[in-house]
């Protein structure tokens, strides 16, 4: 069940990132970090992951970090934070 939940969130996260890039381009998306945190909720290891997200400044880094976390969670492996 955890892997399936992560797979669904991963698909939705990637779609969200596509739409955010279309809407904001290189501009600032003030909601990205808040939404990234929401996408990690309910996944094992998410609490540590959210701590990591709070210190991530660049949008591309944040997108990659969440993507990697969800993909690893989907595969059933634990991510090292």
First to last CA, the chain: 22
> What whole-number distance in Å separates Cα of residue 6 and Cα of residue 50?
15
> What whole-number distance in Å separates Cα of residue 37 and Cα of residue 47?
9
Contact between 45 and 79 under an 8 Å Cβ cutoff? The reply is: yes
Give me 79's structure tokens.
Answer: 């991510």
1-57 pLDDT, tens digit per residue, is 678 999 999 999 999 999 999 998 887 888 999 999 999 999 999 999 999 999 998
In this prediction, residue 80 carries a pLDDT of 46
In this prediction, residue 70 carries a pLDDT of 96
Q: 52-77 burial, b if ≥16 CB within 10 A, otherwise e? A: ebeebeebeebbebbbebbbbbbeee
In this prediction, residue 81 carries a pLDDT of 46
């Amino acid at each position: 069940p955890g892997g399936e939940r992560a797979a669904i969130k991963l698909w939705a996260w990637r779609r969200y990132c596509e739409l955010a890039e279309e809407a904001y381009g290189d501009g600032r998306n003030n909601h990205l970090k808040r939404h990234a945190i929401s996408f990690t909720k309910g996944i094992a290891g998410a609490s540590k992951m959210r701590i990591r997200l709070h210190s991530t400044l660049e949008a591309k880094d944040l997108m990659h970090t969440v993507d990697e976390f969800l993909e690893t969670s989907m595969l059933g492996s634990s991510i090292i934070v």
